[in-house]
């Protein structure tokens, strides 16, 4: 989850199942994009979807083959201790739940010791 007009380094890539160019801002987002695109259950994906009326965007919103929506927010483990990160994740969760999205989850990077 990021501010809508985030000015960080952005990588633009064409990835299958994305409705537009996939924009990622870090390795975790890129790996998550590849993971979602590789799922047989997912039909289409959008990256950095604006939350209407808010200054933020969700990392990935996808539609399954059954027509259900899902959301994935990417967070580095060390940021989970920051109160603002937790506030923003809760904002995203409540926003999407209010729109009927039940498949909302956080993607956290894998520790090197997790192999």
Domains of the chain: 21-109 (3.40.1350.10)
Whether the per-residue pLDDT at 34 is higher than 90: the answer is: yes
Please check the confidence at residue 73 and state whether its pLDDT lies above 80. yes
Residue 2 has pLDDT above 80, yes or no: no
pLDDT at 115: 54
Tell me the C-alpha to C-alpha distance, in Å, between residue 66 and each of 70, 79, 100.
Answer: 11, 33, 15
pLDDT at 24 over 80: yes
Predicted confidence at residue 113, as pLDDT, reads: 56
Share of the chain above pLDDT 70, in %: 96
3-state SS track over the chain: CEECCCCCCCEEECCCCECCCEEECCHHHHHHHHHHHCCCCEEEEEEEEECCCCCEEEEEEEEECCCCEEEEEEECHHHHHCHHHHHHHHHHHHHHHCCCCCEEEEEECCCHHHC
């Amino acid at each position: 989850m990021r501010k809508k007009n985030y000015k960080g380094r952005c990588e633009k890539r064409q990835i299958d199942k994305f409705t537009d160019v996939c924009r990622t801002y870090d390795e975790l987002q890129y790996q998550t994009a590849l993971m979602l695109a590789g799922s047989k259950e997912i039909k289409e994906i959008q990256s950095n979807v604006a939350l209407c009326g808010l200054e933020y965007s969700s990392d990935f919103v996808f539609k399954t083959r059954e027509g259900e929506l899902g959301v994935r927010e990417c967070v580095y483990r060390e940021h989970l201790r920051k109160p603002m990160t937790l506030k923003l994740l809760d904002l995203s969760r409540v926003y999407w739940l209010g729109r009927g999205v039940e498949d909302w989850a956080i993607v956290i990077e894998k520790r090197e010791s997790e192999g």
